[in-house]
Every structure is written in structure tokens, then in C-alpha cells.
Amino acid sequence: MYFLKNVHFCRVKYLLGLILIFSIANVYGNKITISGRVISDRGFVSEASITLLPSQKHALSSENGQFLFTNLFPGNYQIQIAAIGFQNKVLLLENLIMDTLLNIYLVPLMGELQELTIHGNAGGRIKSTSPAPIEIFGKKFLQKNASNNLFESLQLINGVQPTINCNVCNTGEIRINGLDGPYTLILIDGMPIVSSLSSVYGLNGIPTSLIERIEIAKGVGESIYSSESAAGTINIITKLPRNSSKFNLDFKTSSYFENNLDLGFAKSHGKIDFLLSSNLFYFNNRIDINSDNFTDITLQKRASLFSKIQWNRSAELSSQFAARVFYENRFGGEMQWTPEFRGGDSIYGESIYTKRLEVLAKHPFFIGSQKLDYHISFNSHNQNSAYGSNNFLAQQTTFFNQLLYQKKINIKHQAKLGATFRYVFYDDNSGATANSSSLQNTVVPGVFAQDEWNLNEKNSFLLGSRLDYYSAHGWVYSPRIHYKLLFGSNQTLRLSLGNGFRVVNIFTEDHAALTGAREVILKGQIKPEKSWNGNLQYSKFKNKKKGFFEWDLNAFYSYFTNKIIPDYTTNANQIIYANTNGFAVSRGISANLEATFSFPLKVDIGFTWMQVYSKSQDSLGVYSKQNQIHAPGFSSNFLLSYQIIKWNLTVDYTGQIFGPMRMPILPNDFRPEYSPWYSLQNIQFTKKWNSTFEIYCGVKNLGNFLPKNPILRWWDPFDKQALDSTQNPNGYTFDPNYNYAPMQARRVFVGLRYTLK
């Protein structure tokens, strides 16, 4: 019996021993991975050196900041991260027993940019963890479409629609969620120096070579910027000298003979950092594929020179000064036009000379123990235009000051207080400004307060208020509230509410009023527009063995009163502006899917469904509905990027899909009121030989899509025969504004980049 008990006890010990051995083997036999992304407040940090101890494994972060260590045993690790222009960082990882995802934030050396806490995701963007929904796009993302300027770069972003409004001079605007370009607030380094006049042609003049990143807030943004952002805010952050290459060159040409050259130079000496960046664009090839005797795209000769100086006084104090000069000579019109016909009525041409100066400065200082930031900007924009026989001369000067105080009250509260002063002078040779000083001079002082309040790890608020005084309209109060909730596994819910306000300058914001094709009629005393905006965003981030994934769902709604809607249809020779006696609405939903797989494939797909319309009331009290011009009910953007590692080759396939959008048609117009479904698709190949040299090439507009009948009565641009019923039975007039897609056919491009670190 004793023997049997001993045998049984030995068996139990043996069984327990096996269980223990298998348990240990299960824990230490299952290999784990450590992956993540290196980021900063300027975007993704590429080529960061990452060392894993004690394994001595080493990796460099990719262009999207990603890194991966595989085949690791569970245990304790130390990660050391180093990158040029950033403070070194060390992380301790203890008792790891499963796959681990890290988002590593690096602090810039001597940086003076606004601090953001951000997390990485799967695609070409990063997001602020602020309760306000902000998307941040780095310079690598902008290179996926081989674009030369800001206007073209934004084509890859869901819900953002660069739109060409005129088929002769190719003037453009940037729409967010279907709203007209003037509803989008465009900032450079946080300052509103892109004035209404410069938004007509100046967006093509901002080269991508000087952009470090782009921050986009759709709907109501933070109170720190402005109340005039009903559609959203685009903040262009320029490069810092300390993080720029010693020398860089980027040259691109196309089968259309569009030539673009970017040159940059950076130098540091002691506490002074210096950056000089230049851009030259030359296109002088007259193309007329549809044989209407008009240039399909404008001839353009432009030059831009940008310089930034940074004085690093200490680790906490760094001052910046930046300046840019810009010149452009643009022409579109009849193929036989020459400069001696400028302003005449024999051969039609639209010729625009643009001169622009921008100055920005930031200077931090202390009053006692309290730090304040002083921001100042100035811009002067001069436009000399001839639209057929009509000459348009305009000058706009904008001066902006801001004093900002930031205080971390406690672990839960971070407050910002500030005061702003903006002065805008505008003058042109039209009758609109001849007897109206309120249109010529605008003085806008304002104050704002903003508090980021973290209730706990899951709930946070961003509360903001602005109070601005407009010399023509009085006081304007703009409250904003943003709420963020973290729940579940990497899931986030954001809710934003607030109002927007806009003073409309018709003669600089709506280029259709300047073409000379129609007379401008102001109906009554036009009041400023007001809007209430709401946005609800749900996002989920996942890290799987197959890659990183993120889903975004957004619902947006904007309600406008006093909205000014141009009337193109009442009279074929007029554009009538008036405040609607009803209301206007922009509403819809958007979705984004972003993924970076463990194999070298990246996908970014976005969809937007929306309704943008106005309702006005007639004398009988009956409301009639009218859809917004150039606002498609459906749009989509996509980016597929695949890397062939052994060849060091990246293939980028990008595109857009647009549903029908309402067009500005004339009475009895034979052209359809709504555009057809269409898609614009591009492919690009980028080959890197080393860290300094790469070549890229590709094809734009793969499907060779071109819009039909873009110019009405192109054979009579001065309407000399428009009143002859035998020659013109339908009463048509010359009209170049029927535009829903660029008049650029399939074309090949090739370029090279040289970068000296």
C-alpha cells in the first residue's frame, strides 16, 4: 500500500513538473514582436536610429516613421532612439509576454512650434490627441502625387476638394466638405496671411518644397485661430532650418513641358540657423486638344524665394523670422493672342501679373517667470489683370499681431489666453470700392481663451471662446467646444460644436465676378454670414500581425443664415449677389480606411457622401431648394503604395472619383446641369539609389479624361454677335465657367531629387 502511495505521489509530481515545463515553454517559446512608429509635432520621423537592448538589434524608421523587431523572446528590453534634430530618448519595457505596439514621441531640439501630443496610425497621416479633430500630413505624403504646389497636393485628402473655377485663367479654390473656398481659413505657421485676394491665384504659388507639414481641421477648429473658418482650417507649417537638409534639389518636367525646379540650402552657425528655399515654374506650351481655339491650361511663369532665420537663444527660447517674395505671369485665352492684345477687344486673352510679399516672425519672451509668445505677420498682394477688354487692378495688404500666453494650471488643465489685431486694406478699380471705405479698410481686434481639460484618462474637453470686433459689423462672439472619449480597445469618439462667421468680399473671392463676361449686381445691403457647425468622429486603431489598421467615420452638419449665394440664372449677363431669405445646409458623412501591412503595402481610401444646398422663401412663403454649385454628392480619394525592397523602388497609385455636381449653366443651355461621374488616376515610380539621390516618374490622368464643352461660344468671346438672333438663336453669351475637371490630358512626368543631409 505504501509502495502504491509512493508511485501515485511520484506520478503527481511528474505531471506537475511537466505542466510547469510546458507552461514555461509556452511563455518563452512563443516569440513576440515589438513594433511602432516614431513621430514628432512635425509629422513622421524617418531614418531615426532605433537600437534594441540587450539583443543589439538595430533598425531605421521608414518614411512613415515605422519600425519592427521580430522573433523576440518575452522579457525585459531597453529601446534607444536617436534622430537628427531631436532629443535622444530611452524607453524601458518590462515583463513583455505578448506583441507590443509603441508610439514614440520625439522632442525637437530648440523647436518653437506649438507642442502637440500625437499618436501614429496606419497611413500617411497622424492625428492630434487634442479633443479637436486635427489631421496632420507630412511632406512624404505630399510627394506621393508629384505635385508642385499646395493646390495640387491637397487632391489626396478625403473631403478636401481643390476646384478650378475658370477654364481660361484656371483660377482655383480649396473646398472642405463641399463649401466654397472662402469658407476655408488658410494659415501659414498659424497666421492668417492668405488673404481673400491671394486665395484666387496665390494657392498655386505656395510650393511644396517649403512645407514641413499640413494640419487640417474640418468644421470648427480651435479658438486660437479665427472665427472665420466655417468649413475648416488648413495650417501650412513651413520648414525649420535645423531639420532641413544642407542642400536639396528637386527638378520635374512633363510631356506637356511643365518645368519645376526647387532648390534649398540650410546652414547653422552657433545659435543661428538659416534656410533659403527657391521655386521656379515655367510652362509656355500652348495646348488645345479640344480645338476650341483656347488654351486648355494657362501658361505660367512664376518664381518664389523663401528664407527663414532661427535664433536659438536657449533651450526654451527660440525666435524665428521668415520672408517670401512671389511673382507670377499667367495667361490663358485664344491661341493667337500675344501681349500687344492685352486689354483689347480683338483677340481674347486673360493675362494676370501677380506680385506678393510675405513676412512672418515669432518671438518668445518672459515677463517675470511667465513666458509669452509674440507673433506678427505682414503681406502685400498686388494683382494686375486683364480679362478680355476689362482691366482689373487690385491691391490688398494684411497686417496681423498676436500675443499668446500658455499656462499649465495643473495636471488636468492647460490654458491659452491671447489677443489679436488684424488690419486689412483692399482697393481695386471697380465701382464697388469707389465709394465704400468699409470695403477698403477692415480693422479686427480680438481676444480668445482656450482651456484643455482632462477629466481623467478617458474623458477630455477643449473649451474655447473668441470675441472679435469688425469695424463694419460690430462685435462677434464665437464659442467652441470639443469633447473626446477613449473607450474599448484603441477607440476614440470626438464631438465638436461651434459657430463660424464670415465677412464676404465678393470682388476678391468669386472670380466669376471678375472675368468680364457678366455684370455684378449687389441686391440690397449685404450682411455677414453666420453658421453653426457640428462634427461627430469615431475612430478605431488596431495593430495586427498583418499590419496597422485604422477606421474613421465622420458625420458633419453646418447651418447657415444670411448666406450669400450668387445667382447665375436670372440674367445671362449678370451675377446677382444677395443674402438669402432662407437658410443653407452642408451635411454628410465621410469614411476613411488606412492600413500599413507587414509586407510593404500601404492603403489609404476615403469616401464622402454629402448634401450642400440652400432653401429660399418666395413672396408666398414657399421654400425652394437649390444644390450648391461644384459640390459633388459623392467623392472618393485613394492611395496605394507598394515598395519593392530589393530594388529600392516604390510604386504609388493615386486617384479621385467624383459623382455628379451642379454646374453654372445659362438659360436654355444645351450642356447638362449636372456633370457626369468621372475619375482621375495617377501612377508614380520612385527609385532610390542612396540617401541622397532618387528618380521618380509616372503618368497623370491615366484614363485620359477631359470635360466636354468647357467654354460656351468660344468663337465670339467679346459677344459681338450675341444679340444677332440669326447667329445666336438661343441667346448664349461667352461663358468659361462650366468646369468640373482639369483640361489636362494624359501626360508623362519625370523628376529627380538630390538631398545632402
Q: What is the pLDDT of residue 213?
A: 83
Q: What is the pLDDT of residue 326?
A: 93
Q: What is the pLDDT of residue 119?
A: 30
Residue holding cell 486689412? 424
Q: What is the pLDDT of residue 114?
A: 34
**Percentage of the residues of the chain whose pLDDT score is greater than 70:** 85
Q: What count of other Cβ atoms lies within 10 Å of the Cβ of residue 371?
A: 15
Polymer length in residues for the chain: 757
d(CA 647, CA 643): 9
What contacts 540, CB < 8 A, 6 or more positions away? 488, 489, 490, 491, 492, 550, 551
Residue 549 has pLDDT above 90, yes or no: no
User: What is the third-level CATH fold of 126-756?
Assistant: Maltoporin; Chain A (2.40.170)
Give residue 358's identity as a one-letter amino acid code. Answer: E
Residue 618 has pLDDT above 90, yes or no: no
Residues 666-712: tens digit of each pLDDT: 888 999 999 999 999 999 999 988 878 999 999 999 999 999 999 99
Mean pLDDT (whole number) for 180-199: 80
What contacts 336, CB < 8 A, 6 or more positions away? 293, 347
Confidence of residue 504 (pLDDT cuts 50, 70, 90): low
Residues 472-484: tens digit of each pLDDT: 677 888 899 999 9
What SS3 class is residue 699?
strand
Rounded to two decimals, what is the model's pTM? 0.80
d(CA 352, CA 326): 13
Q: What is the pLDDT of residue 438?
A: 47
Q: What is the pLDDT of residue 617?
A: 78
Q: What is the pLDDT of residue 54?
A: 77
| Mean pLDDT, all residues of the chain | 83
Residue 381 has pLDDT above 50, yes or no: yes
- Per the CB < 8 A criterion, the answer to whether 15 and 73 are in contact is no
Residues 3-39: tens digit of each pLDDT: 444 444 454 444 445 444 444 444 444 678 888 888 8
Residue 485 burial class via C-beta count within 10 angstroms: exposed 0-12, middle 13-18, buried 19 and up: middle
Residue 343 has pLDDT above 70, yes or no: yes
Domain residue ranges in the chain:
1-30, 126-756
Q: What is the 3-state secondary structure (H, E, C) of 63-103?
A: CCCEEEEEEECCEEEEEEEECCCECCEEEEEEEECCCEEEE
For 99-243, strand residue ranges (E) read 100-105, 118-120, 125-128, 135-138, 160-164, 172-176, 184-188, 211-218, 232-238
Mean pLDDT (whole number) for 406-432: 82
Q: What is the pLDDT of residue 113?
A: 33
- Per the CB < 8 A criterion, the answer to whether 193 and 694 are in contact is no
Residues 520-538: tens digit of each pLDDT: 666 777 777 888 999 999 9
Least confident of 79-83, 116-120, 223-227, 465-469: 116-120
Residue 568 has pLDDT above 70, yes or no: no
String of DSSP letters for 327-372: EEEEEEEBTT--GGGTT-SSS-EEEEEEEEEEEEEEEEEEETTEEE
